[in-house]
Amino acid sequence: MSTKPQLPQRPPRAEVGPTALDGLLVVDFTRVVAGPACTQTLADFGARVIKIENPDGGDDTRAYEHAEIGGESAAYLSLNRNKCGIALDLAVPEAREIALDLIRRADVVVENFSSGVMKKFGLDYEAVAPLNPRLIYCSISAYGRTGPFASRPGFDPITQAESGFMSLNGFADGPPVRTGPPIVDIATGMTACNAILLALLARDRLGRGQHVEVALFDIAMAMTGFYGMAYLINGQNPGRFGNSPSGSPTVGVYEASDGPLYMACANDRLYKRLVVEVLNRPDLITDPQFATRKARSENKELLRAAIAEVFAGDSLENWMAKMKLANIPVGYLRTVEEGFNAPEARERHRLYQIPHPTAEWVPNIEPPISMSVTPAMDPVAAPLLGEHTDRVLRDTLGYDDRRIAEFARRGVFRSGKPSAPL
C-alpha cells in the first residue's frame, strides 16, 4: 500500500539577490503542457508571468484527474508555479483591450492556441508587433503556424506516432509504445524557452523583437536523434529494442535473486570489468563468441542468457555493491514512489512543500537548473483561477475602481474567482 510522502518545508533562498530574468514581463496565453512548461521556467527565474485564462474553467489541466489537492489538479500545479493568474473572456471586446494593454508593456508573449485563434482576437503577431516592436512573440503548435498542416490539431502522442518517434519505443515483438510522461510536450516547452531566450539576446544586439515558433512535430522528429540520422545515412528503418539500445546484451534490465537492476555497460572497457571483476566469468571475454563487440552482438541472446544466469544467483544489494566498486554504470529500477523517496532525490533537496491558499500547502518539485549567482526565485504555488486579476489591472495597468467595475459589468471576468494579492 502506498503512503503519501512527507515533505519538508522549503527554506528561502540563501541570499536575497537578483534573479536571471528580473524585470521581464511575460504575457502567457498558454494552456495544457508545452506552453505552461515554457513559461514556468521563465517564471522560476524571475520573469513576471501573467497567465491569462478563460474564466469558464480556465486551463484544461485544472480538470485533469491524476490527483488533486485544495481543488487544484496535480497537472496544473506542476506546470504553473510562480505565475500571476488573471481571468479574461477574450470573446468580450473589452477583455481584448486589456490583453492589448498588457502586450504593449510586455517583453514576451507566449501562445499555443489552435491556428487562427489569436488572429481572430486581433492578438496575433502581425497585429501586435506595430504596438510593441521590441516584443518577442512565441507561438507553440503541433505543426507550425504556416503551411498545409497549420490548421491540423495535434497533441503529444499524435506527433510521437506520426514522426516515427513512437516506433522506436517498446520491444521488437510488440507494438510501438508512447512514453508515459508527455515527453514531446515537455521538450517542446524547453525548446520554446530556449527560443525566447535566444530572441531576447538578439534583441539586445538588434534593438527589435521577433516572432519565434516551435512545433511539436518538429521536436518529435528531432528527438529520434541518432536513430533518425542513421536512417538518413543507410536507408534502413530502425526498429524497437526495448531496454537494450541496438540490441546490446550488456545494456538493459537484469533480475537479481530479489529484484531488478538496470545496467549500461556499453563499451569494451566496461564489458571487461563487468565479466572479470563483477561476474567472475573471464570466459565471457576469452571465448571467441564474446571476444569483440561485433561477436557479442552476433551472439547477444546467448550472452544475455549467460549474464542473466549469473545475476539471478545473488541479491540485488550485493550486485549493486560489486558493480559500484568496479565503477560499472548501474541503477535500481525504481517506481515513482521509490524514486521520489530515494537518497538521490532527498539528499539533493528536490522535493518540498510550499504554501497554498486553499490546500494550506502543496508539493513542489524543484526546477532542474542550478545557478550560483542568480538562483531560482522562492516558489509560489500555481494561481487560483483569476486570483490576481484585480492586482494586475491596478498595479500593472493602472486601472481605477470605476474602470474595473465597468469591465466587470460587461462580463470581461465572468466566473473568475475573487482576486487576491500575489
What is the tens place of the pLDDT at every residue in 15-46? 778 999 999 999 999 999 999 999 999 999 99
Query: CA 303 to CA 200: how far, in whole Å?
Result: 53
Buried-state track 42-51, b at ≥16 Cβ within 10 A, e below 16 = bbbbbbbbbb
Helices in 136-278 by DSSP H: which ranges? Answer: 156-163, 183-206, 216-222, 225-234, 268-273
Catalytic position from the list 89, 185, 218, 390: 185
Give the residue from 181, 196, 264, 147 showing the smallest Cα distance to 39: 196
Q: What's the pLDDT at 419?
A: 43
Which pLDDT tens digit goes with each residue over 259-272? 999 999 888 999 99
In contact, 392 and 91? CB cutoff 8 Å: no
Give the amino acid at 305.
A
Active site includes 185? yes
Check whether 50 has a pLDDT greater than 80. yes
Banded model confidence at residue 214, pLDDT cuts 50, 70, 90: very high
Over pLDDT 90: what percentage of the chain? 86
Predicted TM-score (pTM) above 0.95: no
Give the residue from 253, 227, 251 showing the smallest Cα distance to 240: 227
Residue 304 cell numbers, joined = 544475455
Query: CA 350 to CA 364: how far, in whole Å?
Result: 8
In contact, 191 and 214? CB cutoff 8 Å: yes
Q: What's the pLDDT at 154?
A: 87
Give the residue from 7, 41, 36, 1 showing the smallest Cα distance to 21: 41
Give the residue from 330, 202, 308 showing the smallest Cα distance to 255: 308
Helices in 347-400 by DSSP H: which ranges? Answer: 389-391
Q: What average pLDDT does the structure give for the chain?
A: 94
